[in-house]
Amino acid sequence: MTELLPEVQAVLDANAAAELPDFSTLSADEARTLFLELRLAPPEIVPVAQVEDRTLAGPDGDLAVRIYRPTLEDRDAPVLVWFHGGGWVLGDLDSGDLPGRHLAARGGCVVVSVDYRLAPEHPFPAAFEDCMAATEWTITNADSLGIDPSRVAVGGDSAGGNLAACVAVHAAARGIALAHQLLVYPVISAEFDTASYEQFAEGFFLSRAGMQWFWDHYTNADERQDPRVNPRCGTLAGLPSAWVYTATCDPLCSEGRAYADELEAAGVAVERMEVDGAIHGVFSMTLDCGSEARDAAAESLRKAFAVE
């Protein structure tokens, strides 16, 4: 088994000492309370020029977004539309604040972070529809937002990575040209017997039982071959370039690797980053390996956007 990074082992030891319950044993409300408690530590504040909360007309009412600007001078900036993680059940604009700030500041782009509807109150396809609507809103309102509609990327971590991958597939099918997709340990399909699921089923923050719990809150079994929830069921040829991050001690590692393989086989330009000894969730943690991952993601954005 891969040896955990010392800073990651320290996180898992602290969680074990606190006897934190697995998400699969909780109600959605209890899981959200626990998720909030887990991020009570002061965040790593990365300075940006402006943070603005906006509301747009979503598919089923108001949809909140948070816009991060690295500078107020560029009126033709590239943009990343970002979808937070949390298994489609957890998370909000605040949980996406650290990556939002970091990717804007280091990636030289505007970041539009999306507060999509959560399951089980709003099951599939609500989250996908909100993320697609926010992406289209960003492109349609490029002039007023001061962004370049030809340099729009989508990205997200975990369930947010799933949403980004699905939005990329759907956008391509509709003739919407995106510039890049940033997929951070993405959820791809509901297959719980992969090598990484077998090896890291429990004890590594995200468990197999927990991931099954998330899937069951978001979808039913009949929906899991829909390309709006499983991007592998869509057409991958012609998709924008992708940066795919995987962590070796993450139950989702195998599916992230496999999706990167499938993208490459379809002719998509793929850049990979895999970190030995990292676990699910580090991208949003104030750890050295998290900061390094965010820096690498930001560099991939700069390359895709041709930012000097």
Distances (CA, A) of 40 to 36, 37, 116: 7, 5, 22
Element (H, E) at 171: helix 159-173
Catalytic, out of 250, 284, 291, 300: 250
266: CB partners within 8 A, 6+ apart: 236, 237, 239
Largest CA distance in the chain: 51
Q: Identify whether 158 is a catalytic site residue.
A: yes
Give the strand pairing for 50-58 and 61-69: antiparallel
Catalytic, out of 95, 113, 158, 196: 158
Q: Which residue has the tokens 């700030």?
A: 101
Distances (CA, A) of 174 to 56, 168, 171, 278: 22, 10, 5, 36
Catalytic, out of 280, 284, 291, 300: 280
54, 88, 181, 252 alpha-carbon torsion, rounded to 10°: 150
- Which residue in 31, 35, 59, 99 sits closest to 228, CA to CA? 59
117: CB partners within 8 A, 6+ apart: 58, 60, 126, 127, 130
One-letter amino acid identity for 292? E
62: CB partners within 8 A, 6+ apart: 55, 56
Give the helix, strand, coil percentages of the chain, each rounded to 5.
40, 20, 40
Rounded Cα distance between 125 and 232, Å, is 16
Distances (CA, A) of 287 to 7, 90, 156, 290: 7, 21, 18, 5
Active site residues: 158, 250, 280
